[in-house]
Structure 1
Amino acid sequence: MMDYVEVRSSTVAAVGYDDSVGALGVQFLNGSEYHYFAVPKSLFDRLQSASSVGSYLNKFVKDAGYQFKRVR
């Protein structure tokens, strides 16, 4: 089960983390939702407090090549 936390961002609405499988969940303001797999919990912690959530997500998750699945 993934619990989401709202974040201040121009593109991201909320982020969540599932410890049991190491999955990062990202809900975007446009209504889409993605799960990224094998993401360290420390990355999720830093993402929540990043000065720019979208930029952090792009640089350390998307550009890093984590496998993902669109769930909504």
Structure 2
Amino acid sequence: MPSSVIKKYFYRPEQEILTIIYVSGSVYDYFDVPQAVFDDFRAAYSKGVFLNKNIKPFYRYERKD
């Protein structure tokens, strides 16, 4: 299902970095995200809900733009 908040996302497994590009244009890197968490994120029906509940509270992040 397309997200109303997330435009695109990329995952770099070597560094365990999840990059989220929001519809607003903001770009964030989430650090130390394990492959299993990314796999669950990718499979989630609502990526925005999954991000808010399972990634943002637990992983350090940084705005890139």
Q: TM-score, normalised by structure 2?
A: 0.90
Q: Say whether residues 1:42 and 2:36 are aligned partners.
A: yes
How big is the alpha-carbon RMSD for the aligned residues of Structure 1 and Structure 2?
1.2
Aligned to 1:67: 60
Point out where structure 2 has 5 or more consecutive residues left out of the alignment.
Answer: none
Task: Say if 1:15 and 1:48, in contact at 8 Å, map to a contact too.
Answer: no
SS in 1 for 2:48: helix
The alpha-carbon deviation at position 24 of structure 1 amounts to 0.7
Q: Which has the higher contact order (CA 8 A, sep 6+)?
A: 2
Aligned-residue sequence identity (percent) comes to 34
Structure 1 runs of 4+ aligned residues shifted over 2 Å read none
Aligned to 1:13: 7
Q: For residue 33 of structure 2, what is the amino acid of its counterpart?
A: V
Point out where structure 1 has 5 or more consecutive residues left out of the alignment.
Answer: 1-6
Q: Distance in 1 between matches of 2:13 and 2:43?
A: 18
